[in-house]
Chain A
């Protein structure tokens, strides 16, 4: 990358103590030496299973929790060196969208107060300007501006997530961490929110760190994808490369595990076993006990993340030697049947009901 990235993360680590007398039970490396960049106007998808450290990573970047080691630079400025008051003012550029729209909005505040609060805190548009800005934000996320006097419980889950997005957008941030923003929502509503996030990201040129366990959702919104396993990045690549030619056996396993809407045929080889505990991770490559291609070297020596000129990085000793990946299920890649495509067109043509008043 020739230009300075918006966000630069280097060797980021977070170790949590496990408790016990005088911390005697040791530590768990939730995030273990992460390095990545996010360019201006870029969405980076961060994928992994539970306990892999993806949410911790998002919180570390926002300094909601303090890292054990590492560097985070935003526009070249070291965030970790900032004292608390400077960090507060810096935070208007860095926002967060939460997973659960039911617990992340204060039930005793109106939508006007929820979305207006960051404007007050940062002394933006004080006074009557706030209502205008709130109305603009509500319309931007597809909600009726006349509903700004209502309370969160008067909205559906999808509408609440829109409110959360409007709040994150209030200060026109340059970077937003989206932590599993759709996984608490119904399937039909997930699509609305993914469409909204993608539209907002494009129109406003924001950078997103989109954290999710859902690879297809990540594919839909992200320009690049980082795959995480037990605290480490195992593969980082442009989205098309991850989905066409995943290099890490774990990335392949994740792709093979996507349930395809097709009638049961023979399934691909599945990963054996469960995620190991991050408290006591396997030696060498953390993935080796579940990896179908592991050798003695994998148990002994941890691979490093190595980049190629195309920006495709992988941490695997054997990615060049493993057999060709068979590809995503055809049920996911072939165009939809013409009849279904025609029917779906009708859903797309319909204007957003909530924007026009509900």
Chain B
């Protein structure tokens, strides 16, 4: 009897073992190796056997490297502004289009397009839109009677330009999540509020938003994790410039690994980025769980 119980208890582990092993090998192994590498000095293009153990030297260098701190700052600013704007715009759009209107299917398809475009292509499209000489944006700026700007090459302008690009690409993602969330809200509390004479705004603020909160949290955390890892748009639009004003952490890692070819130092930054994303993911799981439990 006892044996049967043990077998029964072990069965699920047996079935998930292959998946765990595959994940362990493809995800965990590189992470462990990356962490190990951060203790070595190893230049790209030299055999792995020639790498040198340097202990905490890479961490010490990173601590004194202004470029890394600059990148953390850029990443935080980028993430804060982009995700906040996407959240507010996404919510506004979702409430506006919540009540089925004519042609909503077309709207939804159109809104989804930016998410479907590869980030590299998004970068190229916006690089040409922001181009100082031939860009459409400068054309309209001039039509309105303002001086054309060197959007991607002037300190103080490039990061906002990249944030706008990110907002353009990812607001639809928020919008679709919220729309789906709104449409699956229970009707009863809303109807009850309406019968009690609540205004539209009151219904949104006091009934719908609190009910939608779990979805909002999930959306925010998904986007923050994504924004923290973003690389392609900056890589294409500015390659981190002007100076290092748009050099997000991923781009800093790329430059350290491939321009400076210091793989150990790049690993230190990568480990830091990973640790931060890991923390966010844990937060995501903790917040997402009650939402799942309710269903």
Answer yes or no: do A and B interact. Answer: no
Binding site for B on A (CB under 8 A): none
